[in-house]
Amino acid sequence: RKEVEQDPGPFNVPEGATVAFNCTYSNSASQSFFWYRQDCRKEPKLLMSVYSSGNEDGRFTAQLNRASQYISLLIRDSKLSDSATYLCVVNGAGQGGKLIFGQGTELSVKP
């Protein structure tokens, strides 16, 4: 079983739609959670951290459920520029900032 699991998609949605991505993680000791965005043939970039209380950044809302080991990302009012792969990320075991990435969920926003 992968440490971080995501539905690879693709999710094809029209502009203006609301779309939600989910992810589960296996290590109950994980303490830090993130969503990264990766455009085609580009490097991953931090989209937002995910906190237990949930957090929002403009059209993006992230939620964490520690009991279920589940993380979500909600994108409201989708834009064409939101088309990318969204990577669910948790910190790895041990010292340091090792990150464990999910496979990524591909989003395509159509006009």
Partner 1 sequence: GAGVSQTPSNKVTEKGKYVELRCDPISGHTALYWYRQSLGQGPEFLIYFQGTGAADDSGLPNDRFFAVRPEGSVSTLKIQRTERGDSAVYLCASSLYHYEQYFGPGTRLTVT
User: Is 96 among the residues that bind partner 1 (CB under 8 A)?
Assistant: yes
User: Is 94 among the residues that bind partner 1 (CB under 8 A)?
Assistant: yes
Coil/strand/helix, residue 80:
helix
User: Is 103 among the residues that bind partner 1 (CB under 8 A)?
Assistant: yes
- For the CB of residue 52, give the shortest distance to partner 1 in the complex, in Å: 15
Q: Give yes or no for a contact between 109 and 14, defined as CB atoms under 8 angstroms apart.
A: yes
User: Is 8 among the residues that bind partner 1 (CB under 8 A)?
Assistant: yes
User: Is 4 among the residues that bind partner 1 (CB under 8 A)?
Assistant: yes
User: Is 49 among the residues that bind partner 1 (CB under 8 A)?
Assistant: yes
Q: Interior CA angle at 4 toward 83 and 87, to 5°?
A: 20
Q: How far apart are the C-alpha atoms of 18 and 44, rounded to whole Å?
A: 23
Q: Which is nearer to partner 1, 84 or 89 (CB)?
A: 89
Q: How far is CA 87 from its chain centroid?
A: 5
Coil/strand/helix, residue 102:
coil
Q: Considering only residues 47, 75, 91, 109, which one is a binding residue for partner 1 as defined by CB under 8 A?
A: 91
